[in-house]
């Protein structure tokens, strides 16, 4: 059974610092991996989707890497801002469209 | 981008009653929809997958007679929590996908509180 782990569970950084969020999964036979953002009491916002054949994806200040063989993905957020405060979820898909989520990393960026 | 809506955004009901949650794709045809639930401080857990016009496929441990899913059209799926109990209180989120498009779009979620 696939297990997805996110470390750390919570992170607090001053504005301007870079954020590094880690995600690990036990079964490397994944279809894709996706990073989401969730604000309190809200739904999910997709940040980056990495197909199993890709090593990384970038969007603005966000960069996500994928090492399928070691079962790891890292989300980097450069020059953090208070608006980046949220919970970040990592999810892996084994079969078409069915995601297994990690518990998330709660991020607080202080001004 | 594609938009998925959910209604209601929050609902409070008495124990023993049934609650229906709607999930709509507003600008694309949702051939497949997924229902998740999220307990406080926990991550999302997939409950079931539904394809338009077919019966839903439930994940292990999810009671199909308690969580009724209907996906009768390409833009609407409903989740009915029957005879709700306080332990069913949770945040329910749907997502939708069109055809073979790998992109999946999530709804804003519905907060259910059972008293």
The pLDDT tens digits for A65-81 are 999 999 999 999 999 99
Closest CA to B51 of B21, B22, B77: B77
Note whether B46 contacts A100, CB cutoff 8 Å.
yes
Tokens of A88: 């970040």
* B43 band by pLDDT with thresholds 50, 70 and 90: confident
B40 — pLDDT class (breaks 50, 70, 90): confident
Average per-residue pLDDT for chain B: 92
Q: Note whether B48 and B100 are within 8 A (CB).
A: no
pLDDT score, position B114? 96
Does residue B6 contact residue B79 with C-beta atoms inside 8 Å?
Answer: no
Cβ of B106 and A97 within 8 Å? no
For residue B1, pLDDT beyond 70: no
Residues lower than pLDDT 50 in chain A: none
The answer to whether the beta carbons of residues B1 and B106 sit under 8 Å apart is no
Chain B CB within 8 Å of residue A99 CB:
yes
- Write out the two tokens for A58: 């970038």
- Burial class from Cβ neighbours inside 10 Å (0-12, 13-18, 19+) for residue A95 reads exposed
Per-residue model confidence (pLDDT) at position B2: 79
Contact A100/B34, CB-based, under 8 Å? no
Contact A9, A24 (CB under 8 A): no
pLDDT for position B112: 96
Q: Using CA atoms, how far apart are residues B111 and B12, in angstroms rounded to an integer?
A: 8
CB atoms within 10 A of CB B112: 21
pLDDT of B99 reads: 84
Please give the share of chain B, as a percent, with pLDDT higher than 70. 99
Name residues 86-115 of chain B within 8 A of A (Cβ): 91, 93, 95, 97, 102-109, 111
Greatest alpha-carbon span in chain A: 41
Q: Does B63 touch chain A (CB under 8 A)?
A: no
């Amino acid at each position: 059974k696939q297990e997805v782990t996110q470390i750390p569970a919570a992170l607090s950084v001053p504005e301007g610092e870079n954020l590094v969020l880690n995600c690990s999964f036990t079964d490397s036979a994944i279809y894709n991996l996706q990073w989401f953002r969730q604000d309190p009491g809200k739904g999910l916002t997709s940040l980056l989707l990495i197909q199993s054949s890709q090593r990384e994806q970038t969007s603005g200040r966000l960069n996500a890497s994928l090492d399928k063989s070691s079962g790891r993905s890292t989300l980097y957020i450069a020059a953090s801002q208070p608006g980046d405060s949220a919970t970040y979820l990592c999810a892996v898909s084994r079969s078409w469209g069915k995601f297994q989520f990690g518990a998330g990393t709660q991020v607080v960026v202080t001004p | 981008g594609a938009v998925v809506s959910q209604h209601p955004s929050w609902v409070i009901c008495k124990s023993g009653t049934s609650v229906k949650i709607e999930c709509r794709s507003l600008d694309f045809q949702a051939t497949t929809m997924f229902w998740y639930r999220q307990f406080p401080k926990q991550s999302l857990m997939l409950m079931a997958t539904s394809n338009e016009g077919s019966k839903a496929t439930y994940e292990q441990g999810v009671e199909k007679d308690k969580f009724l899913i209907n996906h009768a059209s390409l833009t609407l799926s409903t989740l009915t929590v029957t005879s709700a109990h306080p332990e069913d209180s949770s945040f329910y989120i749907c997502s939708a996908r069109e055809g073979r498009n790998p992109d999946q779009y999530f709804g804003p979620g519905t907060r259910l509180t059972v008293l």
